[in-house]
Amino acid sequence: MSAKKNRPRLAKVEVVANVASGSVEPDAPAELETIFAEFGLKPNIRAPQVGELRDGIKASLDSGPDLLVVLAGDGTIRCAAELAGPKGPPIAPLPGGTMNMLPFAVYGRRPWQEVLRDVLENGEERDLGGGCIEGHRFLCGAILGSPARLGAAREAAREGRIVEAFHRTRDAMQRAFTGRLRYSLDKGGREKAQALVLMCPIASKVMDDDAPAFEAAALNPTGAAEVLRMGFNAIVSDWREDPAVDNRPCRRARVWSARKVPALLDGESVSLPTHVEVTYDPRICRVLATPKDSA
């Protein structure tokens, strides 16, 4: 393989695979080993239990690898990005979950085997920006406000807890219009919305990947009919075109609420304090990405 600008040395590679994740088969570690062997590499592959994933990532990073490959869902990938940080090794987030928000944003919608071969052949280091909020990081997007409660219902459904998913969905819909957020973007004045969405550049359809800001969208549906309309627009066109959406760029957002703020960070449910500040950081971590025209 020829040397390339921003191409890291790959003498030592660590892999963390969550074989209990949405689309990772039990034989994934063996398949990973086979693909790496095609490139003359012999990585250290870890397949920790679900409760040991964070410890597995920390152990991999502590070993000082040139590259950390993560085959897992969005939550595990976000954890790896937080732990690696901008000074750690680049990560290669392979799509192994249900939503695969970051892998699809970085590599396009492709099987993880194809992505891995492409990364090992053509990968280039790239800084990845994202959001910082109350000690958490997100790399694709955050939803703040009552609609984020649907995330808990999604998790229950994904894990087969159908009755719980039904009750959580009903609770989320009943509480969807009981209170609004107060927010301000950059140095603007206070405004109100049912929810605030902050999209990172790599996940935004209207921003360049290296844009130094969020795409912020205030969601203001006034009832279930408008929620359904927004969902329809998201499927057939673009949710930004819905009249209940107001979007613009920003680098900092402040949010106030009478109660704790429910949030979804890259698809994972988080409960935030009543007053929070979200800032854009252009260097959350580094990724080993493929050239833009190949994804």
For 125-139, what is the HEC assignment? EEEEEEEEECCEEEC
Q: Checking phi first, is residue 39 left (phi over 0); if not, alpha (psi -120 to 50) or beta?
A: alpha
Determine contact, residues 200/214, Cβ cutoff 8 Å.
yes
pLDDT at 239: 53
pLDDT of residue 262: 86
Which residue, 22, 28, 34, 60, is CA-closest to 117? 34
44-46 vs 13-17, strand pairing mode: parallel
* Of 251, 268, 280, residue with least CA distance to 97: 268
Residue-range domains of the chain with CATH? 13-130+286-294 (3.40.50.10330), 136-282 (2.60.200.40)
* 3-state class (DSSP) for residue 38: helix
pLDDT of residue 146: 74
190: left (phi over 0), alpha (psi -120 to 50) or beta: beta
Residue 272, beta-bridge partner list: 261
User: What pLDDT is attached to residue 131?
Assistant: 95
Query: Which of 103, 94, 147, 128 has the alpha carbon at shortest distance from 264?
Result: 147
Tens-level pLDDT at each residue, the chain (295 residues)? 444 555 667 999 999 999 988 788 889 999 999 999 999 999 999 999 989 999 999 999 999 999 999 999 988 999 999 999 999 999 999 999 888 989 999 999 999 999 999 999 999 999 999 999 998 999 998 888 876 665 454 554 455 544 443 344 445 444 554 557 899 999 899 998 888 889 899 888 778 888 899 988 887 755 544 544 444 444 344 555 555 556 788 999 999 998 889 888 887 888 899 999 999 999 999 999 987 655 5
pLDDT at 156: 43
Tokens of 150: 């649907």
Do residues 266 and 93 lie in contact, with contact meaning Cβ atoms separated by under 8 Å? Answer: no
